[in-house]
Structure 1
Amino acid sequence: MVQRSKSGRTRQSWSSSRASQTEAAARAADAADAVITRHLHRLAWIPGTIIADVAWPRSATTSWHYWWHAHLVDLLVDAETARPGSVGPTTLARLFRGIRVRNLGRWTNDYYDDMAWLGLAIERARRHLGVGSARGERVLAGRIFDSWAPPKGGGIPWRTMDYFFNTPANGPGAILMARTGQTERAVAMCDWMHEKLLDPVSGLVYDGIKQATGGPGGADWDIVTAIYTYCQGVVLGAELETLRATGGVRHRDRIGQVLEAIEKHLLVRTDLSDARGGPARIVPGAGGGDGGLFAGILVRYLALIATDLPDGPGAEAVRTRAGRIVVDTAEAVWQTRAIVNDAPLFSADWRQQAVIPADSGSNAQFIAGAVHSSETPERDLSVQPSGWMALEAAARLADDVSEHPRVP
């Protein structure tokens, strides 16, 4: 079944294939309420602030994680735009204030991927809801723009004073550049990732390149060949936003190629049936810690392909394929949830039932620039927004909601 949008574009009716439109919205709302209730609270004694506990049950430590909060902002924007009044601009304003206070009065930190994510969250909050700091957006976008370093091998680096140039920084950085009008830089970043970081065999995107520790002659760089779900997601998002800004055919081609690689090499089978009666293939989880967000990020940008890919050769098929992954993955997220106090708690692996964490065991630890999982991954804040992200994405598809105005 298809439906025609106001722009005249033929679109898949996702609500006919999985959860109904009403049910998809209700699931997303339940996810939002669960995360907000369990994790959000005022920052210390400071009025007008909100911050999130990075663990539930709450940890005795006072750690926080900047980029996890950026995605929390993005999700609050999703919720408020989909269900006006469910969150409210005041909540977002307080969270922005909490983030800045907790970050010692600054918008920036030493990690370019972190700054790109918060810049994207502020840009979306301002564009959709009129909430957020224009100065914060300019500062963060400026840091991304100024970090471009082709003479040093990049791309933009992972963090300041570093020679590791990776997809997790360049992907969201390119999306931010495209959305803030720096189109030429977005194009250059997409081209750099395609040239330097694409696996020629699988078509998936590598993690990054770093300065070699040794080697003869011109062997100056080592490729870090790890494959992460969220790297594929941010490349899809970067190529899409650059395509929207330029109409460049190569960006459309790359979207199709990366999507095909995801379908062939990255998805995992579940015991669930897909919309056509076969075994559903979904985005795999990556545990807790920072990895808790990886799957949700890929689902977010697959949904963006499904809703916002401009018309062109093969576009409808690409939108349909991307959307199918989103709705099947969201169904797995919902079916593997646990229920705690009548609210969902999401699994770190959407092929298995969620484990309800106890107030014991080791907590997530920040080691060598990354956050490693708690003993029970479901305890980490990152895992719960990832499930929420998938459900919001499916609800947007069911309601046929675009990130950007559609061109008639």
Structure 2
Amino acid sequence: MKKMLLVMSIALIFSACSKIKDEYIDRSAKYAVNWITAADSGSNTLASIYWNTTGHHFNNDNLGTTVRNDYWPEAHGLDVLVDAYQRTKNDMYKQRIYDFYEGVKAKNGGSFYNNYYDDMGWHGMAHLRALEATGDVRYEASSKDLWQWITAGWNDADGGGIPWNHENTTAGKSKGMPSNGPAAIIAARRWQKYGAAEVINGHNDLEWLSKIYNWMKENCVVQQSGRVYEQLNDTKGDFTYDVGTFIGAAVEYYKITGNKVYLNDAIKSADWATSTLVNSNNKVLSDWAEQEDHDVNLFKGIFVRYFTQLIRTKDVPDMTRKRYINFLKNSGQILWTTGTAKTPVVLFGYHWWAAPIGGKAALRAELSGAMLMEAMALLKKEGYTD
């Protein structure tokens, strides 16, 4: 009897293990994604369905709506065009990058100048990338103009920092990560490109990087946890893009100096974000205020862009890198399998676990999804993931 019970127990254990194995195989098969195909589909949709062929800019959604000037999302659209062109060398993306310059400039009133320093920051980063990807010297001029306008916003209220816009220049008026995070990344990348030869508004780019980075770290980052606040005067606001640009700035500073203080800054904030700014049910990256056609829907894609740069940075511990890759892969798999409408065109949901309904997706959500797929395709190409 005991022998029979033992045999039955062993059989039950093997059966349970087999079920677990089968479920794992089924789950893996269900969520398997060809990242190259996914990136091609997302970026091609953005460059064709969302592109305004007359005005040479992006529409507000996939149905051709143009009711507002999406100045800052346009910059992220340019970033995705650069991603896709660098990955594929497809001349269609290069032509879009070329046409974007005059089209978006005209849409913005004949200049890339804007009243919001953070919005000019997104363009400053994207224009520099467009220059490096295509050699189009128009972007060299515009990226320098944008950088001059941004650094002119620095003032000594609150110990320094660049405000949100031109009206908010006094103490406690909306200084924080949105303007300073992109500015620090621009400073770092321009230093790496131009060195000490470039002096803007009284400082070279490394000096600007030091000023801006130190101000952010002191005023917007919780040193123990790595948490990053949206604004100096609001210590309750947490958004993925704020952490993303701080990570991006820290990574660039580390590239320049080799000082692991900056790499550790990036890792600490990445650890905080990947454990906190997620949906508790599926661990997918998420911002608390996501909703239909809202600015916040673009934030995740910005985080992904700079989080991916951290993954690709040398000296990141192997186990940490693997954990980050698995985190990003989970978001990508769930977005592609449950958060994407694939017919007649690829449309990404603003929640990455819920596909858009009604055949419509706003530009911001589409950009975030395309950024994630391009990031996964890049990691696949470089051998970081399968």
Question: Do the structures match in fold with TM over 0.5?
Answer: yes
Q: How big is each residue's C-alpha offset from its partner over 1:61-80, in whole Å with a ceiling of 9 and x where there is no partner?
A: 53121110000000000001
State the AA in 2 paired with 1:150. D
**CA deviation profile, 1:171-230 (whole Å, cap 9, x unmatched):** 111101100111222122222111111246753101112xxxxxxxxxxxx334210111
- Partner residue, 1:334: 336
Q: What count of residue pairs does the alignment treat as equivalent?
A: 335
Deviations 1:237-282 (A, max 9, x none): 01101111122232112112112211332222455xxxxxxxxx22
In 2 relative to 1, CA 396–390 (structure 1 residues): closer, same or farther, beyond 3 Å? same
Pairing 1:223–2:243 present: no
- Deviations along 1:100-154, one digit per CA (max 9) or x if unpaired, are 1111111110111111100111101111221342110110111222222234543
Say which structure is richer in strand: 1
Does structure 2 retain, via aligned residues, the 8 Å contact 1:179–1:241?
yes
Q: Distance in 2 between matches of 1:230 and 1:310?
A: 23
Partner of 1:77: 82
Taking the aligned partners of 1:108 and 1:178, their CA distance within structure 2 comes to 21
Q: Distance in 1 between matches of 2:38 and 2:227?
A: 31
Distance 1:90 1:354 in 2: 29
Counterpart pick for 2:361 among 351, 355, 379 = 379
Residues 52 and 58, structure 2, Cα contact 8 Å, conserved in 1: yes
Partner of residue 349, structure 1: 351
- 1:340 to partner: Cα distance: 5.6
- Contact kept in structure 2, 1:230 and 1:295, CA below 8 Å: yes
2:362 & 2:106 partners in 1: Cα distance?
22
The answer (yes or no) to whether the contact 1:198–1:205 under 8 Å persists in 2 is: yes
Q: What is the aligned counterpart of 1:177 among 177, 187, 196?
A: 187
Query: Does 1:389 pair with 2:371?
Result: yes
Larger radius of gyration: 2
Distance 1:334 1:248, change over 3 A: same
In the aligned structure 2, how far is the partner of 1:257 from the partner of 1:340? Answer: 36
Alpha-carbon separation, structure 1, partners of 2:351 and 2:97:
29
* 1:191 corresponding residue in structure 2: 214
Where in structure 2 are the equivalents of 1:186-265 lying within 5 Å? 186-199=209-222, 202-209=225-232, 222-265=233-276
Distance 1:160 1:202, change over 3 A: same
Q: Deviations over 1:295-352 (max 9, x none)?
A: 1111111111111x232xx533333232222221111211124436432111110122
Residue of structure 1 in register with 2:160 after alignment: 154
Rounded to whole Å, the distance in 2 between the matches of 1:29 and 1:351 is 20
**Mapping 1:44-55, distance limit 5 Å:** 44=55, 50-55=56-61
State the shift of 1:43 in Å: 3.9
Please state whether the residue corresponding to 1:254 is helix, strand or coil: helix
- Unpaired stretches in structure 1, ≥5 consecutive residues: 1-17, 45-49, 210-221, 272-280, 358-377, 403-408
**Within-5 A mapping of 1:250-329:** 250-270=261-281, 281-285=283-287, 286-287=290-291, 288-307=293-312, 309-311=313-315, 314-329=316-331
Higher helix share: 2
Residue identity matched to 1:254: D
Other structure's SS at 1:207 match: coil
Preserved contact between residue 292 and residue 380 of structure 1 (Cα < 8 Å): no
The aligned amino acid for 2:218 is: E
Pick which of 282-291 and 175-184 moved more: 282-291
Residue in 1 aligned with 2:110? 105
- CA contact under 8 A between 1:53 and 1:64: conserved in structure 2? no
Aligned AA (2:207): E
Aligned equivalent of 2:128:
123
Which residue of the other structure, out of 66, 75, 97, is the alignment partner of 1:92? 97
CA contact (8 A) 2:82 2:129 kept: yes
Check the 8 A contact 1:174/1:238 in 2, yes or no.
Answer: yes
Structure 1 residues 97 and 77, CA gap change in structure 2 (3 angstroms): same
Cα distance, 1:38–1:227 mapped onto 2, change above 3 Å: same
| TM-score with structure 1 setting the length | 0.76
Contact residue 333 and residue 390 of structure 1 kept, 8 A: no
8 Å contact from structure 1 (residues 71, 121) kept in 2: yes
Q: Which amino acid aligns with 2:378?
A: R
Alignment RMSD (CA, Å): 2.3
Contact 2:121 2:150 in 1 (8 A): yes
Matched ranges for 1:363-378 at <5 A: none
Secondary structure at the aligned position of 1:389 is classed as helix
Distance 2:342 2:321 in 1: 35
| Letter paired with 2:341 | I
SS of residue matched to 2:119: helix
Q: Secondary structure at the match of 1:143?
A: helix
- List gaps (5 residues or longer) in structure 2: 1-30, 192-204
Q: Deviations over 1:369-391 (max 9, x none)?
A: xxxxxxxxx63211101101000
Alpha carbons of structure 1 residues 178 and 352: separation in structure 2 relative to 1, 3 Å? same
| Kept after mapping to 2: 8 A contact 1:145/1:177 | no
* Distance (whole Å) between structure 1 residues aligned to residue 330 and residue 117 of structure 2: 32
Question: What's the CA shift for 1:354?
Answer: 2.5
1:93 corresponds to which letter in structure 2? Y
